[in-house]
Amino acid sequence: MDDQHPRRSPYHPLAVVESDTVGEGTRVWAHAHVMKGARVGAGCNLGEGVFIERGAIIGNNVTIKNGVAVYDKVIVEDDVFLGPHCVLTNDLRPRSGRFKRAAEAFLPTIIRRGASIGANATIVCGHEIGEYAMVAAGAVVTKHVSPFTLVAGVPARRIGFVCACGESLRADLTCTCGRTYRRAGNATGEIRPVGDLV
């Protein structure tokens, strides 16, 4: 770095980054707020107006589009995509005033590696979104979502399976990209990739 070409901060001058645990190369756009205590990994992209609360944990290479709030008790693993204005709640029975609940009563939500949450979708707290699952835009998720599963609607239901690449799988659990999957053989009808995901 020299005086004429100072290295640009990865944080927009109008971003408020109070956390000292934000990884290398993570970019934070205007009007985003990362609270002290929040943990954000490396290589992430936090869009305009994103809010990360103090107890939230964000992995590496996560994309969070504009207007998303990630509250306390929400865990987002590596390579997750959170679409614009999706909502991740943390209190199943919220009250204000004299019946307001303590944060200990909040329920954790986990978004597993590689999963994608569509624009305006809502994840009701206490649920897990499996690896590489995909939640369609506007869906309201009220139960766990299995890995590589595509869910849509209100309440969200399984409408198919998706590949790690994002394409829908054919009926024989193959993808146009060449990856193949098989039934895991459990009661919930989950699928798994054949071999390692590369």
Q: Is 150 in the site for Zn ion (CB under 5 A)?
A: no
Where in 151-170 is the site for Zn ion (CB under 5 A)?
Answer: 163, 165, 167
Residues in contact with 66: Cβ distance below 8 Å, sequence separation at least 6, in sequence order: 29, 47, 48, 49, 50, 84, 85
Stretch (H or E) spanning 150: strand 149-152
Tell me the one-letter amino acid at 189: G
Q: Which of 30, 92, 105, 177 binds Zn ion (CB under 5 A)?
A: 177
Shortest approach of Zn ion to residue 75 CB, angstroms? 26
Tell me the one-letter amino acid at 23: G
Q: How many chain residues are in contact with Zn ion, going by CB under 5 A?
A: 6
Q: Which of 134, 175, 181, 193 binds Zn ion (CB under 5 A)?
A: 175
Shortest approach of Zn ion to residue 98 CB, angstroms? 52
CA dist 149 → 40, 72, 117, 146, 159 (Å):
26, 26, 12, 6, 8
Judged by beta carbon, residue 22 or residue 163, the one nearer Zn ion is: 163
Judged by beta carbon, residue 33 or residue 179, the one nearer Zn ion is: 179
Judged by beta carbon, residue 69 or residue 162, the one nearer Zn ion is: 162
Stretch (H or E) spanning 69: strand 69-70
> Checking DSSP bridges between strand 81-82 and strand 63-64, what pairing results, if any?
parallel
Judged by beta carbon, residue 24 or residue 172, the one nearer Zn ion is: 172
Which residues bind to Zn ion, rule: CB under 5 A?
A: 163, 165, 167, 175, 177, 179
